[in-house]
Amino acid sequence: MLPLLRPARPDDLEAICRLEVACFEWDRFSRRQLAHLLSRAHASTWVVIDENGSVAGYGTVLFRRNSHNARLYSFCVHPSARGSGLGRGLAERLERDARERGMHRLTLEVRADNRAAIGLYRRLGFLPRRWMDDYYSDGCAAWQMDKSLEAKAALEVSS
C-alpha cells in the first residue's frame, strides 16, 4: 500500500493521540483538544497513512471566519517516518486545502530548536517573520513563519 493522504475522521483520534505522545515532549494537545479539532473546530485536519496502514502523521489548519489568513496549528510526523517525504506531502496537502478555501496567507509557529521542521517549512516557501521569546511551556522560543498563498494561485489560474 502506498502512502495515502485523507481527511481525518473521528475514529482517527486514538492514533492522533499516540502521535502527539511520540512527537512532542512539551505542549501536547490533550485528547479533548484533539477531539474538538476533529469534530467541532473551524479547521481542516488531514492524516497520512503509511504503507502499513498506520497513521504516520497529521496536520491541522485553522480558519477564522471573515479572514483570508489560515494557521497551520498542529503538524507532526512519527519519528520513524521522518525524512521519508510523508511530511512534505502532508504539508503540501494542507496548503492546497487552505488555498482551495480562498485563503491568502498561511502562518505557523515552530520551536526555534526544531531545525528539521524549520528546514522543511523554508523549503516549502515559508519565511520567518517574528521571533517569540519563551513561547513554549518549557521556555523555548519560537519562530512565527508565514507564506503567501496568492502567488501560486495566480500562476495556477494563468496556466
Q: pLDDT (tens digit, 9 = 90+) per residue, 31-81?
A: 999 999 898 879 999 999 988 888 999 999 999 999 999 999 999 998 888
Please say if the pLDDT value at position 101 is more than 80: yes
Least Cα distance to 109 among 83, 133, 144, 73 occurs for 144
Domain boundaries, the chain: 4-158
C-alpha neighbours within 13 Å on the C-beta side of residue 107: 14
Least confident of 10-24, 80-94, 95-109, 145-159: 145-159
Furthest-apart CA atoms within the chain: distance in Å: 47
Phi, psi (deg, nearest 5) at residue 55? -70, 115
Other residues' Cβ atoms within 10 Å of the Cβ of residue 48: 24
Task: Examine the pLDDT at 90 and tell me if it is beyond 80.
Answer: yes
Name residue 62's beta-bridge partners.
43, 71
CATH topology classification for 4-158: Aminopeptidase (3.40.630)
